[in-house]
Every structure is written in structure tokens, then in C-alpha cells.
Amino acid sequence: MKQEKIRCDACPILCFIAEGKSGACDRYANQNGKIIRLDPLIILNNKIEKGEQIKPFLKANWDGETTKEDNTFITAIGSGTTYPDYKPAPFIFSSKIEGTDFVTVVTEAIFSYCGVKIKVDTDRHLGSERSIVRHKGEAIGHVMTSEYGSQMLSLGGVDHLTGGSKLEGRLTCDALMRLCNKEAVELSIDEGLNIIVQAGKPPIIEGVKEDKMRVGCGSATIGMFASQWVGLVDEVVVVDDHITGVVSEHQAGKVLDWKSTGISIKGRRSTPGRYFQVANPGTGWGGTDIENPLTILGDWNNKKGAFPGLTMLMVSTTGEHYAYYQLDENLKPQKKPIPKTLKPSVKLIEENCEPALCTVMFVGGAGGSLRSGVTKNPIQLTKSVKNKTTNITCGGVKPYIWPGGGITLMVDVFDMPDNSFGYVPTPAIVAPLEFTIDNNQYKSIGGHLNNIRSKKDIIDKGGEYGNKKSFL
């Protein structure tokens, strides 16, 4: 006889799953007429000398050694969800921390209101502020304001997940989950560049891996290294998209009694030795669109110090680009081999640059009815988080909790265990949340006291979705 499909209630999709098959999320399956969770629950052991050790839960190769002492932490990774949300969370367990009784509530939260903020360490101009960021042709976010030595992207959010077409929502969800799980994702920016982003890895921009993050703007570079050039060269120009520095005019040069050179810079002068808008943003020298740095120079003035034979070093803020020039009889700069005495100063700029990396921050609003999996009075949970009597973690990692209403959290996904995130095809991201609160406080906020279990009981018997044998 043909076996009937059974319904999974772990998310709003409510899949009907046949024997031996998984649901649309690939996280739950039908095994012998019972819904089981396919991914293992994750337990962290915090007393390992070299840091946290991740222990797969309910797998045949684990001997349970981390339960010999009460030093383990059951995360929400692989725990299951609370949908429909009037149910208590999948696991609520008690533990003793420094002699005090605590309760930890773990659940995989379904986030429609979520996204990622990405910090890309680069001087390259990825795209103008507010430009659309796309994944496989679909809009999934936009370019944010630049930060010091970095470009910022904002991806996801409820408007992209549910406010556009089905394809837009599906591709947004796919990109968010892969980024949060530390995978590489290719993005394109309207009227900008193509980039591959991966948490903890250098960005790959137009097929080229970025190496260094700039040491500072052109003015800051002058301020840091002006003393390295005294007596070795007559002028130094540090080319930068934001602030180009000129050592002879800069205050750092004045402190060193640097002589005027009669140099002229094509740009908007800010304060002495600091120039804005010397070129357009791009992928060339110092994040500008120029390949020949001489294009930012005007005519030299011999009445203000210019003379034949005057030497000049032009360098970018990462030391990636540099060139050495000497003025001829017509006060025109001619390129010359850089003297050995100047090379260490260029190398010093490069040494002071940090490695270029991508940082992926998951941001989500832990509101809605998921709170009822923790307490019968959800507003009390929000208040206890705000007054810091309830501690939130994501896969065992402490997030930043935004001030103001609701529970809006932000966490660096690179710090979390691998494959911490999932999805449901609504579409929405599934992320682990753990709420830890003093036992008496848990009673006061209306917690599900009848569902509190010991760690040993959870490990021995599992949870609602499957049991120990189901995962072997």
C-alpha cells in the first residue's frame, strides 16, 4: 500500500512529506512516519584550552564526554522552531552558573525582518551610495555610506524578502543564508563593480582579490610618515579619493620645517595640504579613477619654490601605487627610478595596512510571536532583555542588542559555528537564539516552567522532532 504523507508543522509552509523524503527547507524529513530534524543540535564546551569546541549532538561518533561536567551549552542550532508559536521552545534547560540557578531557552527563530550589513575593506569604488546591489540579476539590497577604508552594503530586509517578486524573495533568502553560513556570494552593483563577498575572506573585485586596507586617507598618511621623508625627497603627494595629502603644505610638514615647492593640485583645497575631489572614484590610484597620478597636478610655480631638479614621490594610501619624479628645465615632472633610500618608506605604508576582509553582520528583529516560545507574556521577555536580566546569544555568540523598542540584534556570523543558519521557503531566514535568565526571573516573566529539562534528559531523549536513534 502507498504510504501517506505526513505534515510538518516546523514552519508556516506546512509541507506534506513522503516517507524517506525531506521538506522544502531540507531540514526536516519523514522517517518511519515521524518528522525528524536532519541537522544535528550543536553543543559548545567552553572549557577547552584552545577555545570553544563544537560537539555534534546525536551523532554516532560522539561519546558524550562533555556532559561529565556542567560546562556545556546547548545552542539553538539544530533545535527546531516553535511554529506555531504558542508552543514552548524546543529545548528549555536548567543549569547552575557560579552557584546560581539559570534557565536557558533555545529556539531556531524564523526571521522575515532580517538582513546583513557587509563591511568590505577596500579603496576601490564599488558603486555610488544608494546604488542597487543584485544577486543573479535580482535586487537584494543597496550600497550604504562609506566608512574609513571600507565600503558598506546593506542586503535583505523584509521588502526584498516578501515585498517583491517570488524570484526576488527566493534569491534574497538564498544570498542571505549563504552569506550568514560563511559561503562566497557573487554580487553586482548597478553602474558599479562585480564583487565576491565571503565572511572572513578578502573581497574579490572584478576578478581580482583585494589585498590591503588603506592605512588612512592621504592626509593621515602624511601625518604618520612625514618624518620618514625628511631629507630624502623635496615633495610627497599621497593620492586618495577622499583627502589627498601634500607634505610641503601639510601641518606635519610645517612642524618639520619643510620648504615650499610651488606645487599645484587640481582639487578643492580644504585646509593646508589637504585636497578633496582631485579625481573621480574608481579602481586606480588611492581609490580614484586615475592611472597616471600626474593628471592631478597643475603648473609648478618657481616663485613659490619650484626649481629644475626638484624631486617628488607620489604614492597611494596602501603603497600599492607609487612613482618618483624630477622636474626638468621646464618644470615638467619626468619619471625616474625610485631611489633605494625611499623604498623603505613606501614599504612602511604597506606594512601598516591591515589585510582586506569582508565582515558579514546578521541583523534581525527577534519580535513577533517567537517570544511566546519563551514566556506566556512576551512583553516581559522584551523588558528583561532591555534591563539585561535576560542574556541573548546566537549559536553561543553574544550579539549586540540595539537600543529602542523591540529586540533588534546584530551578530558577526564569522564568530558563530559553521552552518548556523537555515531558511524556510516563505521565504525567511532561520537563525539560532538562546535566552538565558535567572530561574526566579524566569518565573516572574511567565516562563514555561513545566517544560524545563536537564541537559542529560535532552541528550538522552532528544526533542519533539525525532530522538537519538533518528539521528544515528
- Express each pLDDT in 164-188 by its tens digit: 999 999 999 999 999 999 999 999 9
Cα separation of 304 and 302, whole Å? Answer: 5
- Cβ neighbour number for residue 200 with a 10 Å cutoff: 13
Q: Of 24-28, 168-172, 344-348, where does mean pLDDT reach its minimum?
A: 24-28
Q: Do the beta carbons of residue 211 and residue 129 sit within 8 Å?
A: no
Confidence band (pLDDT; 50, 70, 90) for 466?
Answer: low
3 Cβ neighbours under 8 A, 6+ residues apart:
18, 19, 33
275: phi then psi, degrees, rounded to nearest 5: -130, 135
pLDDT of residue 14: 85
pLDDT of residue 459: 76
What would the mean pLDDT of 249-278 be, rounded to a whole number? Answer: 96
Task: Specify if 271 maps to a domain.
Answer: yes
Supply the pTM of this predicted model.
0.86
pLDDT in tens, 87-114: 899 999 998 877 788 999 999 999 999 9
- Cβ neighbour number for residue 380 with a 10 Å cutoff: 18
Domain count, the chain: 1
Confidence band (pLDDT; 50, 70, 90) for 408?
Answer: very high
Interstrand relation of 235-239 and 311-316 (parallel, antiparallel or unpaired): parallel
pLDDT of residue 232: 96
C-alpha cell at 413: 556570523
Q: Of 1-5, 152-156, 297-301, 465-469, where does mean pLDDT reach its minimum?
A: 465-469
Q: Do the beta carbons of residue 183 and residue 198 sit within 8 Å?
A: yes
Cα separation of 334 and 13, whole Å? Answer: 69
**Cα dist. 303→54, 306, 346 in Å?**
70, 7, 30
| Strand ranges across the sheet with 274-276 | 268-269, 274-276, 244-246, 235-239, 311-316, 322-327, 333-336
Confidence band (pLDDT; 50, 70, 90) for 158?
Answer: very high
C-alpha cell at 203: 573581497
206: phi then psi, degrees, rounded to nearest 5: 50, 40
What would the mean pLDDT of 438-458 be, rounded to a whole number? Answer: 91
- Judged against a pLDDT cut of 90, whether residue 46 lies above it is answered with no
Task: Specify if 204 maps to a domain.
Answer: no
- Judged against a pLDDT cut of 70, whether residue 71 lies above it is answered with no
pLDDT of residue 2: 55
112/465: higher pLDDT: 112
pLDDT in tens, 303-342: 999 999 999 999 999 999 999 999 999 999 999 999 999 9
pLDDT of residue 33: 84
Task: Specify if 89 maps to a domain.
Answer: no
pLDDT of residue 469: 32
pLDDT of residue 367: 82
pLDDT of residue 70: 57
- Cβ neighbour number for residue 216 with a 10 Å cutoff: 22
Average pLDDT, the chain: 88
Cα separation of 359 and 300, whole Å? Answer: 44
Closest C-alpha among 35, 54, 17, 64 to residue 470: 35
What would the mean pLDDT of 136-148 be, rounded to a whole number? Answer: 95
Task: Specify if 6 maps to a domain.
Answer: no
Interstrand relation of 91-97 and 452-453 (parallel, antiparallel or unpaired): parallel
Cα separation of 25 and 39, whole Å? Answer: 11
Cα separation of 428 and 12, whole Å? Answer: 10
pLDDT in tens, 198-223: 999 999 999 999 999 999 999 999 99
pLDDT in tens, 51-69: 333 343 343 344 444 444 4
Task: Specify if 337 maps to a domain.
Answer: yes
- Judged against a pLDDT cut of 70, whether residue 280 lies above it is answered with yes
Task: Specify if 369 maps to a domain.
Answer: no
- Domain residues for 283? 218-355
For the ranges 76-85, 129-138, 360-369, the one whose mean pLDDT is highest: 129-138
Closest C-alpha among 156, 278, 167 to residue 217: 278
Task: Specify if 293 maps to a domain.
Answer: yes
Cα separation of 135 and 201, whole Å? Answer: 19
pLDDT in tens, 364-404: 999 878 899 999 999 999 999 999 999 999 999 999 999 99
Q: Do the beta carbons of residue 412 and residue 361 sit within 8 Å?
A: yes
Task: Specify if 425 maps to a domain.
Answer: no
C-alpha cell at 176: 542571505
pLDDT of residue 40: 74
265/60: higher pLDDT: 265
151/8: higher pLDDT: 151
